[in-house]
Chain A
Amino acid sequence: MTGALSVRDLTRSFTVRERGMLFSKAKRLHAVDGISFDVAPGEMLGIVGESGSGKSTTARLLLGHIPASSGEVRFDGQRVSARFDAHWRQMRRRMQMIYQDPLGALDPRLPVARQIEEPLVIHKPELTEENRRVRIGEVMGQVGLLSQHGERYPHQLSGGQRQRVIIARALALEPDLLVCDEPVSALDVSVQAQVLNVLEDVRARNGFTGVFISHDLKVVRQVAERVAVMYLGRIVEMGEVGEVFSHPAHPYTKALVSAVPVPRRPRNSRIILAGDPPSPLAIPPGCPFHTRCPEARSGCRVHRPELLGTGGRVAACHLVNNPSLAGSEAA
């Protein structure tokens, strides 16, 4: 199996002006701030975090939709660039994306079978029309769509069926990398389970490498082997998904895990974080989480923690890695 994804010191910042202020000073928004991770061939990495954590920007960087400010993404040893040239198109043939909003990602004026066919027309011009028809039938079957669905337009399908169309379209080229950005967030619980099962089945059959972005920890645990937790553009903890969620090390992960509603758990066992996440325009110095961290010490305001650890389990927290740096007094 091929298709290792490797990300090194990936950074992306945007220049923004304050809303409504014509002459305000331009500011730098650090959406993704020096992240590194690897995804082994055939592995699925989950990325969780709240809005503004940079998870969707990461998805776009992985596929070269937008250029990185610095750092690099390599897939199968080859660098993913954001120059839309022949090399990029060749890479994109092996790298596909599944989006959150299926209606927005589909063309309302084309029957869905034509939309599943489109990547084949573009990337595999050598196929005859008959070959393509067979392939469309195959992928539609894999995601549980019936052949008569192919003639329908997106508005004639339910939300779950539309998401299956998106998955089928992404699978048509047999990608080696599939990036899923909140693929089930817009779906009802009963349909969400159908789509998650479809993803599990096609992965068992085709064995692609995957990155699965979601705000829902339960969904990530269901589909991913490893998970990276992001906060304000950085990875604060990463490791095997069951390990991270059952024994979170970073105080932010602890709070995220305890915020997940779980039946039969008393509500007072929850960690309630104070305040809102800071704006990505004004990331706090030192540990970016220290402003909301219930365990923060004086040193956390000054020293920026590195992502450290052993055995694939890493966390960016002084209290975990180097308590002496954290200082003794509470912040």
Chain B
Amino acid sequence: MTHDSPPPLFEISGLSVDFETRHHTARALHGIDLTVRRGEALGVVGESGCGKSITWMASLGLLGRNAHVRGSAKLAGEEMIGAREKALNAIRGGRIAMIFQDPSSSLNPLHKIGWQLTEALALHRNLHGREARIEAERLLDRVGIANAARRLGDYPHEFSGGMNQRVMIAMALAGNPELLVADEPTTALDATIQAQILDLLDDLRKERGMALVLISHDLSMVAEMTERVVVMYSGRVVEDAPTRQIFDLPAHPYTAGLVAALPDLDGPRRRLTAIPGTVPSPDRLPPGCAFAPRCSKAGDDCNASVPALRAVGAAHQAACIKLHVPAPARQSVEEMA
């Protein structure tokens, strides 16, 4: 890679987060590195407590004062960690928008949908009055809400969960974002509604050339929606790979374990291969690889130090010392060095 190539849209490096409680400090993130390219669909998967949401909350300065954030998160080369609130406000909801799992609690129950949408348009696009109203109507219409003009006068409780998520997406689009971070956007929704929302997100991304980060516990859903997947475990990235390889050639034993633990919808029924044990608590992490106590491939050397991400194939990295690096990949590692 040459040095004068433009910076990626979003670049996180060495991001770590410590949460301070009255008695002790717990480290939720241990130095995350990841990049999002322009227009790319990136999936972030992991189980509860792995830090997949915290990564983005920390990058956008959305964590409370008890969180100590270190490292760097840059939007098109511009540093966001430690940036002034005013600078962040210009980015959040504008160039980067985020939608959350529970749409009904993300909307203000006391204000009409139209009021909430036009507020976003006034803040980020400086649209007011009639202009804002017309744009709000256009956005609602685009996210698939029928009778948009009339529904602007409705309150969130008059909408179903799926409709509220559409409203959240419309609000996210209000600032014409370059990056949309969707944190478990369909987890609270029914299967047929989930299909609608995913379809909408995919269309919007392609139509606007917007980058999408899809955070989910559902590996299969991420596989359908994205081009690249980052797998997280206990506050670290353990694998970063093109989506099609995650299922066909998972490199990290944890990723392979997740794939094997998923039941199939067709084909012969097989016994599920469960990963033994549970995710370690953040204040009692094992010394070396955090997955070692649950890993079938683990040996004594896994406890020596935390494994770093290394290349295991084209655009494919994993953090495991037990991996056999295939020959062509090894070559490209040498070339890079």
Report yes or no: A188 in contact with B272, Cβ–Cβ below 8 A: no
Residues of A within 8 A of B257 (CB): 190
Residue of A nearest to B159 (CB): A276
Please give me the residue from chain A that is nearest to B220 by CB atom: A261
Are A222 and B261 closer than 8 Å at their CB atoms? no
A200 to B273, CA, bound (A): 13
Most buried by B among A158, A160, A161, A191: A191
Interface size classification for chain B: 35 or more
In the complex, B219 has a CB within 8 A of chain A: yes
Check: B150 CB closer than 8 A to any chain A CB: no
B224 touches A265 (CB 8 A): yes
Q: Report the bound CA distance from A295 to B221 in whole Å.
A: 26
**Beta-carbon contact of B274 and A259 below 8 Å:** no
A246 within 8 A of B: yes
Closest residue of chain B to A217 (Cβ to Cβ) is B265
Complex: how many Å from CA A72 to CA B250?
51
Asked if A219 and B265 sit within 8 Å, CB to CB, the answer is: no
| Residue of A with least CB distance to B275 | A190
Q: Is B326 on the interface with A (CB-CB < 8 A)?
A: no
Q: Which residue of A lies closest to B264 (CB)?
A: A218
Closest residue of chain B to A195 (Cβ to Cβ) is B274
Say yes or no: is B292 at the interface (Cβ < 8 Å to chain A).
no
Asked whether B190 lies within 8 Å of A272 as measured between CB atoms, the reply is no
Task: Give the total of A residues in contact with B, Cβ under 8 Å.
Answer: 43
CA distance A189 to B91 in the complex (A): 34
CB pair A194 B279 closer than 8 Å: no
B35 within 8 A of A: no
Question: When A and B form their complex, what is the total count of cross-chain residue pairs whose Cβ atoms lie within 8 Å?
Answer: 118
Report A108 CB to chain B, min CB distance, Å: 19
Docked complex Cα distance between A271 and B269 (Å): 25
Q: Least Cβ distance of B300 to chain A in Å?
A: 24
A222-B223 CB under 8 A given contacts A197-B271, A197-B272: no
Q: Which 9 A-B pairs have the closest CB atoms?
A: A193-B261, A193-B274, A190-B275, A50-B190, A188-B47, A259-B195, A222-B263, A261-B220, A193-B272
Residues of A that sit less than 8 Å from B by CB: 50-51, 158, 160-161, 188-194, 196-197, 200, 215, 217-219, 221-222, 242, 245-246, 255-265, 267, 270-273, 276-277, 292
Q: List 17 A-B contacts (CB under 8 A).
A: A50-B191, A189-B47, A190-B257, A190-B261, A196-B274, A197-B271, A215-B190, A221-B265, A222-B263, A260-B265, A261-B224, A262-B220, A263-B224, A264-B247, A270-B195, A271-B195, A276-B160
Interface, chain B (partner A; CB < 8 A): 47-48, 160, 162-163, 190-196, 198-199, 202, 217-221, 223-225, 244, 247, 257-258, 260-266, 269, 271-276, 278-279
Sample of 14 more A-B contacts, CB < 8 Å, known A200-B271, A267-B224 = A190-B274, A190-B275, A193-B260, A219-B263, A242-B269, A245-B266, A260-B265, A261-B220, A263-B223, A267-B202, A273-B195, A276-B162, A276-B163, A276-B193
